[in-house]
Amino acid sequence: MNELRLLRDALPQPQGPAAETIATGRVMLARQYTKTNKTTRGTSPWRIRRRAVLAVGAGVAVAAAVAVVLAPQGSLQVANARDLGDRAALSAEHEPYTTPRPDQWIYRRERQASGWDMNAWWKGANGPLETNDHWWRVDGHAAADIVNGKLRVLDFDHPGAHVVYSGGPMYTVRNYATLPTDPDSLLRSLRKPYPNQVGPTTDADVFDTIVGMLSDPLPPKLHAALFRSLPALHGVTLQRDAADVTGRKGIGFALTDDWERKVLIIDPHTYHYLGMYDYAVKDHHRAGDPGTVKKGTYLIQRALLDSRIVDHPGQHA
């Protein structure tokens, strides 16, 4: 017996990487792709699959195709919503994060379909796409947006400001640190009713709350807990192919609640939140309304283009 073989046999046999380790490494790598080339973000698994199929069809050497076909990107192996939640959580846990100061601002840029009218909500939002910039001060005492090309800052502490603080979301950057980071306790917190709430908090409400929170910079553990709690909501399933309103392809958590279906889309490589849409899966008439929402009508189509902590309102980066 030669000594090289003895070496192989004498050392403990490797156990190999855990599936979770492989997934983490793939996420770390995928994060490099977007750094290198922003335009490729979120488009790859489909493109690779399509190319692989074409390569086989074109009679390219089978062995060459095997390497591509059998080695797809991570998202293709996602088994179900829970699996997606775990993968996204794992990735979120490694995201960099700095707790913002109370006097800093959260900047958010979104692109969404226009045309939504509260008084004719059943008509949906199907207008041209529009881009909105918003700023919220971390302490919740001010907000800003762009009106007619000019920055408008709303100071809620200003004498004469008629703003009711309790009107905003219950949880924002100002109190994210107080939320529990295990999924079950977190869901209990997110289900707590608002002081003036009518009726119980449904899982569809919690889904909306989570969508809102994912649009903010988040503490990594809370970020992970949100992804882990999504599959625990009633009616949530995996949606393999989803695209946001700007056409970025991703993988989604979908929640179907009677006539309405909400889809939260995340990037299949970075697991970053990309956007959401909400549409009618069947005709529905709400008592007292003059109109009926038709199956296939989009009520919301929204993409998150940027979300970051800045020092001043009006600041983009």
Partner 1 sequence: MTLPRMTLDSWPLTSRATRRVTVFEARGDAAVIERSRSSPEEFGAIYDAYVVEIHNYVERRLGRDTADDLAAETFLVAFRQRGRYDLSRDNARPWLYGIATNLMKRHRRQETAYYRALLRSAQAPTADPHEDRVASRVSAQHLRPELMQALAGLSAGDRDVVLLAAFADLGRDEIAQALGIPAGTVGSRLHRARRKLRAALPASALDADSVSTPKIEDEVSDHE
Q: Across the beta sheet with 249-257, what order do the strands follow?
A: 150-155, 142-147, 129-137, 105-113, 298-310, 273-280, 260-266, 249-257, 236-243
Q: In a 3-state reduction of DSSP, which class is residue 234?
A: coil
Of 153, 194, 243, 286, the one binding partner 1 (CB under 8 A) is: 243
Closer to partner 1 by Cβ: residue 12 or 167: 12
One character per residue 122-161, x = contact with partner 1 (rule: CB under 8 A): ----------------------------------------
Q: Is 82 in the site for partner 1 (CB under 8 A)?
A: no
Instruction: With CA atoms as reference, report the closest residue to 56 among 69, 42, 73, 43.
Output: 69
111 backbone φψ class: left, alpha, beta (φ>0; ψ -120 to 50) = beta
DSSP label of 119: G
Name which position in 182, 241, 289, 311 contacts partner 1 (CB under 8 A). Answer: 241
Closer CB to partner 1, residue 229 or residue 239? 239
In 3D space, the residue among 250, 241, 260, 233 whose CA is nearest the CA of residue 304 turns out to be 250
Considering only 142, 242, 266, 299, the residue that binds partner 1 (CB under 8 A) is 242
Q: Specify the residue, 171 or 279, whose C-beta has the smaller distance to partner 1.
A: 279
* Least spacing, CB of residue 241 vs partner 1, in Å: 4
CA angle 163, 113, 121 (to 5 degrees): 65
Cβ-based nearer residue to partner 1, 96 or 288: 96
Determine the Cα–Cα distance for residues 303 and 276; give it in Å rounded to an integer: 6
Q: Which region among 67-75, 142-150, 171-179, 201-209 touches partner 1 (by CB under 8 A)?
A: 67-75
Q: Which residue has the tokens 């379909």?
A: 113
* Binding footprint of partner 1 on the chain (CB under 8 A): 1-19, 21-22, 24-26, 28-30, 32-33, 36-37, 40, 43-44, 46-50, 52-53, 61, 63-64, 66-74, 76-79, 239-243, 245, 249, 263, 269, 277, 279, 298, 301
